[in-house]
Chains A and B, each alone.
Chain A
């Protein structure tokens, strides 16, 4: 179903190639050109939204590797994002290290913290694992709020702008290139990871961990690898978020965010590379349109009283998630696959 009509695999290399046809390659080039041209025509409000989408895509992609591919449910993702954010902030502002050290340091420490909290995954799964990751979230936030001398505690801390050598990412446009560059790298990594031995091991564990173990897959190693990679990406997203907003407070990382990440990957499509991207775009656009346009319009015209109209946003969110679970549990990515399949056969589909 994934191959265009008339395209066949004649070698293993063909089978492994992601972009097979000239059309696909041209579309990829076109997509990159479109992406690079975004700052030329998009105003800063929308560019800011795109930047936040990029950061969220990185975090959601990490969660998708952990939950979508490896089947390890995590409801503490916002906590791991916080670890990355604070590590990067501390490294760059208190220890005056370069941004790239902060970025990688944030990713690595978040990954290691993820590994520690992932250890229970060897014994528990499903709801029980979810509860242990919630505990991870609360422990992380507790440490952040009580380690005043390092994190600023309840008062938060300032974070310098991201910079690489002489380039300071100050404007929204320059931040766009930084964030999108890293987002593309993360998506590329996730896409390829899914096709490697490690990725296949993740899928085997997700589908049936007992069978996977019988097949010789080391559960201890692969589950913790999934936690490391998933939380590493959360840490990278946290670092970018810290340098983007310029200030950190523990209040920026909530359990609601963690739950929303689960919603994002369900709506987008669990276990697909495209899923987190589509999920983030859908959720963020919906949120933006409701909050910035629909609610002020309704309240401005006095159709509904102030406050009541604002309640529409969470209601629509909840409704969207319920509808996706009922009507398209495999997410927007699956709908996209169906569309492509029917488009390829059109007008001779049977």
Chain B
């Protein structure tokens, strides 16, 4: 009896101590005495790119809310964000980056390669660092002060082409590839990479077709491609035209029978919804982030915030990119604070001690590891190859690094 009481007493004590410790455990908090770190963010919340910009802006701010409220900012320093809507208007974007520079922001982030193209001249001139979510080679080559968060559309092609040659192509000689490209930088990036690297990888480029974002039929262009007996069709476009092309390819009896792959702008849930699961079954794609619902450490918190603040964006792939962008921004500030040994940060200190010290930051597993490599301003160089299987887009590889392609000027 005495022994039982002792055991019970010990157990009760353990429970009480544990409860007290749990109660005493505090989440890190912002220290009001510490200088806040100011960063500027622009997204095309309105205008022609609002479909992507609105969820990206929401994700940026949700992640900053999470960092400030639950992680105590950056070692107690609050991250103060000025979030502006560039409206996908180059003139507006230029005034915005100038404002960030004038008002002592430490760096800035933006969503699209188009707007960063407008802003980069001012930013580079003032050595003011910036991160762009969706990058293009002209932004990071030659490397100056603009950093690409994810690999560009050319990197997509290279990563897939490497995978195709190693894992899919079983024939003899060179496989024949055709490209079907959206008539903007999404298509142009893939075209440049394919033209630069196809021969080296042992691929014969037999045809390059372009389409508009509003295309409703590509029967004519695909008929020409079909006549060339291709082995693989690579599409670098947005989901709606990609769906049209794949549906048309199926109608013409080209697919299945050839391999079809899509760059990261096209391989989203919207593609499966638009084309139909049976049509796109087996289609390959490459993407720089994980998919919603995957078992990675950063998924739970992101899902919690999207459900709390913007439930309409749950399932939106762009949300993941910008959530990750804000996490990377916080990591850059943390590194700068740690390495500089002072909290009097400047854009130059942040770039040297923050951006350039990034090494294998895993972003909660949400996208490929983030590392700065001298001479290569792409922060994440990795994509995963995906495939539509039973109506779902599933990863079939781990992170594949896309090598840096140096384009002719």
Residues of A within 8 A of B (CB): 43-45, 48-49, 52, 56, 145, 153-156, 170, 172, 241, 244-247, 249, 251-252, 254, 256, 287-288, 291-292, 295-296, 299, 305-307, 310-311, 313-314
Contacts and interface: CB of A to CB of B under 8 A. Distances in A.
Q: Interface range on chain B: under 10, 10 to 19, 20 to 34, or 35 or more?
A: 35 or more
Contacts of A48: 94-95, 98
Contacts of A296: 82-84
B95 A49 contact: yes
A291 B84 contact: yes
Interface in B51-95: 54, 57-58, 61, 82-85, 87-92, 94-95
Given A44-B102, A49-B95, A156-B138, A313 B87 contact: yes
A254 B44 CA distance: 15
B48 interface: yes
19 contacts: A44-B98, A48-B95, A154-B188, A155-B136, A244-B94, A245-B94, A251-B88, A251-B114, A251-B117, A254-B89, A296-B82, A299-B61, A305-B309, A306-B310, A310-B54, A311-B45, A311-B46, A313-B46, A313-B87
A287 B86 CA distance: 11
A247 B120 CA distance: 8
Given A145-B183, A249-B114, A251-B114, A45 B94 contact: no
Contacts of A247: 117-118, 120-121, 138
Contacts of A172: 98
A154 B122 CA distance: 21
Contacts of A56: 91
A193 B235 CA distance: 53
B98 A245 contact: no
Contacts of A291: 84-85, 87, 92
Contacts of B121: 245-247
A306 B183 contact: no
Given A43-B102, A154-B187, A155-B185, 17 more contacts: A49-B95, A154-B183, A154-B184, A155-B192, A156-B117, A170-B125, A249-B185, A254-B89, A287-B92, A292-B95, A295-B84, A296-B82, A299-B83, A307-B45, A310-B45, A310-B85, A313-B46
B46 A310 contact: yes
Contacts of B280: none
A251 B183 contact: no
A252 B116 CA distance: 12
Given A307-B57, A313-B46, A252 B95 contact: no
B95 A288 contact: yes
B137 interface: yes
B95 A306 contact: no
B15 to A, nearest CB: 40
A275 B143 CA distance: 44
B405 to A, nearest CB: 13
Contact of B90 (A45, A251, A307): A251
A311 B85 CA distance: 9
Contacts of B83: 296, 299, 306
B366 interface: no
Most chain B beta carbons < 10 A, residue from A43, A241, A245: A245
A154 B46 CA distance: 22
A43 B95 CA distance: 12
Contacts of A249: 90, 114, 117-118, 185
Contacts of A52: 91, 94-95
B200 interface: no
Contacts of A45: 95, 98-99, 102-103
Nearest to A56: B91
B330 interface: no
Contacts of B58: 306-307
A62 B373 CA distance: 49
Contacts of A306: 45, 57-58, 61, 83, 310
Nearest to A244: B94
A314 B45 CA distance: 11
B320 interface: no
A249 B115 CA distance: 10
Nearest to B185: A154
B335 interface: no
A252 B101 contact: no
A252 B136 contact: no
The 3 closest A-B pairs by CB, nearest first: A246-B121, A154-B188, A310-B45
A15 B309 CA distance: 66
A307 B98 contact: no
B102 A252 contact: no
Contacts of A287: 92
A170 B117 CA distance: 18
A245 B92 contact: no
Contacts of A241: 91
Nearest to B137: A155
Contacts of A295: 84-85
A307 to B, nearest CB: 5
A311 B185 CA distance: 26
Contacts of A244: 94
B102 A251 contact: no
B72 to A, nearest CB: 20
A45 B103 CA distance: 9
A256 B83 CA distance: 23
Interface string B171-207: 0000000000001110111001000000000000000
Contacts of B84: 291-292, 295-296
Most chain B beta carbons < 10 A, residue from A288, A291, A305: A291
Most chain A beta carbons < 10 A, residue from B95, B98, B187: B95
Given A153-B188, A249-B118, A306-B58, A254 B48 contact: yes
Most chain A beta carbons < 10 A, residue from B45, B61, B121: B45
Contacts of A49: 95
B79 to A, nearest CB: 13
A244 B83 CA distance: 24
